[in-house]
Structure 1
Amino acid sequence: MALSPQKQMQFWGLFTVLFAVILWALGDVLLPFVLGGAIAYFLDPVADRLEEAGLSRALATTVITVCSILIFVVMILAVVPTLVAQAASLIETLPQLVRDLQAFVNARFPSLLQPEGVVHDALKSAGEFLQTKGPELFQGALHSAASLLNVVMLLVIVPVVAFYLLLDWDRMIAEVDSLLPRDHAPTVRMLAKQMDNTLASFVRGMGTVCLILGTYYAVALMIVGLQFGLVVGFIAGLVTFIPYLGALIGGVLAIGLALFQFWGDWISIGLVGAIFAIGQMVEGNVLTPKLVGKSVGLHPVWLLLALSVFGALFGFIGMLVAVPVAAAIGVLARFVATQYTTSKLYLGHSNAEAELEETEND
């Protein structure tokens, strides 16, 4: 005898609450497994393509793993030390930049920096905060990152988890499919496919867009000669997944630094601005339509809300699962809305009966 809809709702509601409690309680423990799962999900299409080319799943997984390790080692040796050094230098330079900005505004617009003025107090407070708290915040961030992503987890656990999940990905999907409630299996498969399409378009597509744009910004700014170009490019690429925010934050930061470094050299300042204008144009007209698509279904505001809520509730692990959960909730919300608009609750008895008669006549 099948369970009633009320019983099923109670069961799945209890399951959701239990999952949230486990996620909250074991966040740090689950982090390497979530990262490994995310990497396996990201690379599964590559493994499928290699299988279509004639490789076995094991060999395809091995090839992907070796290539990924080589790329990771190159990044660690070539990019990360420079990135950390530039970030530390930027933190140390910020107080001087604030003082230079204050002197510049005082020379050009003296009326704005009256001793009791709002701008004067704001710049003074910002300078004091950066001078006293900047290095401390940077050291704290490095310490937190080191404790969160320790060497053992980063170099051993995550790659091992990703390897085995990628190796058994299709088998795991088939096993989960076999456990679906038979009455609801077609609907669950349909919803799961929509969630996968939404998530794949966003995560894989936007991940590629972020990587391409971050690399472009960093290389272009370093060619122009902008100090901290690698850091600015990294920041701009990292937040590109939120439309326009990456170019806005990176552009403001880069142009602000360029004004201090190249003041009077308007060609260099214009080149920095042109780099972000070109990047935004290429992203909006080429990269995002080609790699992400126009029907992802994740509104930027909804994405920010999900990241904020899950980050506040579950910390870093919550931010990792925020995007897939947001995609799943979006698909479920559209499904519920569709069911509602075809139900008697929305149509009423008269409209429902009219539609039923029309369907029977057809």
Structure 2
Amino acid sequence: MTLGRQLGFWLGTLAGFLAFLWLFSGVLLPFVAGIALAYLLDPVADRLERIGVPRWAAAAGIVLGLVVALIVLLILVVPLLGAQTSALIERVPSLIARVQVMVAPYFDGQFGRLLGGDTKNLSGGVTAALTQGASWVSGVVQSLWNGGQAIVSIVSVLVISPVVAAYMLIDWDRMIARIDGWLPRRHRATVRGLAAEMNAAVSGFVRGQVSVSAAMGLFYGLGLALVGLEFGLLIGLMAGVLGIIPYLGFGTGLIVGLAVALVQFWPDWHGIALVGAVFAAGQALEGWVLTPNWVGRSVGLHPVWLLFALFAFGSLFGFVGMLVAVPAAASVGVLARFALEQYLASGLYADGDPEGIRHDPDVPHE
């Protein structure tokens, strides 16, 4: 098979996969979630199998334990988060009024004169913008929840995904062996090497970063609650969830936490400083302890590339796309590095050297 036909085959396969995602994105969520769970939990099943536990028993025990832990989490945490979310929505008008009282002296003073114009209009404009933004967020959340789609998706994930994960865990090794047998014999070593690199990137990032995000969400939530910050548990867990993208969770949580602390504790700086200390300690723990040991330094997923992939796949395929975004980003990164290596080792790159010698582009030469 010529290079052109091979390229056409793989591009056609990719186009078919994307079309499948687009057509069935509305029903794929529980199945993609189940496959993702099976992928994440496969090493645990392998360890249990090595010590003599039958594969089916290991898969059933792992999934059952996960379901029980999820149910306990839902019973204990979700009502508290729901109460804090409702309280936050109800407090938005009073918080906005408090912000207006705090910023009015600055707008009415020298800062307002520097900006020029009517200072009353400036402070009123800030208040109107805050009110409109809060109303918009509340409306979006209420419409999504009242539409019923969120409830249907949650129920389908909770019911169908564990079943899919159990079946996939039982047959995971057989499926991998079957797919390996389908690889073209001529390029089997190359494809295996690329697949192993993709697996290392995905597993290293997902397993490590999910663990870091969960730990940091717990740390931020408990820390903010202990210092007395209103909605501290909600803000902390939100920072942990967003922490799947490096620095995004910390930055968002810090901004929201300090904003709430400023409104709650002003003019007492001790409470505001304690909130900042919680995030500073969390960032030190994440950057110096958790991330180096759980994620590592050689995952190969740049935060900007990951953020773009999440937005792009989420926009195209919804929440299913966001689940696929991380392995897709890792796979594209591995393929791009492989293509660059092939180019640097080819005559196409060497032909650009007048002496016919390939130089390292990072090393100066005469």
User: What TM-score, normalized by structure 1, do the two folds share?
Assistant: 0.91
Counterpart pick for 1:70 among 68, 71, 91: 68
Match of 1:308 in 2: 311
SS in 1 for 2:336: helix
Q: CA RMSD in A?
A: 2.0
Structure 2 gap ranges (5+): 113-118, 359-366
Match of 2:115 in 1: none
**What is the CA distance between 1:220 and its match in structure 2?**
1.4
Give CA-to-partner distance per residue, 1:13-63, whole Å, 9 cap, x none. Answer: 111111111111110111111110111111111112222333221221122
**What is the CA distance between 1:352 and its match in structure 2?**
9.7
In 1, Cα distance between the equivalents of 2:281 and 2:23? 45
Cα pair distance change 1:144/1:20, threshold 3 Å: farther
Contact 1:236 1:249 in 2 (8 A): yes
Cα pair distance change 1:308/1:135, threshold 3 Å: closer
Cα pair distance change 1:351/1:55, threshold 3 Å: farther
Counterpart pick for 2:81 among 80, 83, 87: 83
In 2, Cα distance between the equivalents of 1:105 and 1:250? 22
**What is the CA distance between 1:351 and its match in structure 2?**
7.8
Match of 2:361 in 1: none
Map 1:269-284; keep pairs closer than 5 Å.
269-284=272-287
Cα pair distance change 1:65/1:148, threshold 3 Å: same
User: Does 2:162 align with 1:159?
Assistant: yes
Cα pair distance change 1:145/1:165, threshold 3 Å: farther
Match of 1:175 in 2: 178
Contact 1:28 1:148 in 2 (8 A): no
Give CA-to-partner distance per residue, 1:141-198, whole Å, 9 cap, x none. Answer: 3246744643541232111001111111111111110111111111110000000000
In 1, Cα distance between the equivalents of 2:239 and 2:155? 29
Identity of aligned residues (%): 45
In 2, Cα distance between the equivalents of 1:45 and 1:22? 29
User: What TM-score, normalized by structure 2, do the two folds share?
Assistant: 0.90
Map 1:119-130; keep pairs closer than 5 Å.
120-130=124-134
Match of 1:242 in 2: 245
Match of 2:120 in 1: 115
**What is the CA distance between 1:135 and its match in structure 2?**
3.2
Counterpart pick for 2:214 among 207, 211, 224: 211
Counterpart pick for 2:320 among 317, 320, 323: 317
User: Does 2:11 align with 1:13?
Assistant: yes
In 2, Cα distance between the equivalents of 1:327 and 1:121? 44
Match of 2:362 in 1: none
Cα pair distance change 1:103/1:15, threshold 3 Å: same
How many residue pairs end up in the alignment? 351
Counterpart pick for 2:200 among 190, 197, 200: 197
In 2, Cα distance between the equivalents of 1:328 and 1:151? 28
SS in 1 for 2:121: coil
Cα pair distance change 1:331/1:33, threshold 3 Å: same
Counterpart of 1:266, as a letter, is W
SS in 2 for 1:242: coil
**What is the CA distance between 1:318 and its match in structure 2?**
1.1
Match of 1:46 in 2: 44
Cα pair distance change 1:265/1:44, threshold 3 Å: same
Match of 1:232 in 2: 235
Cα pair distance change 1:95/1:338, threshold 3 Å: same
**What is the CA distance between 1:104 and its match in structure 2?**
0.8
In 1, Cα distance between the equivalents of 2:35 and 2:348? 40
Greater alpha carbon shift after TM alignment, 180-189 vs 56-65: 56-65
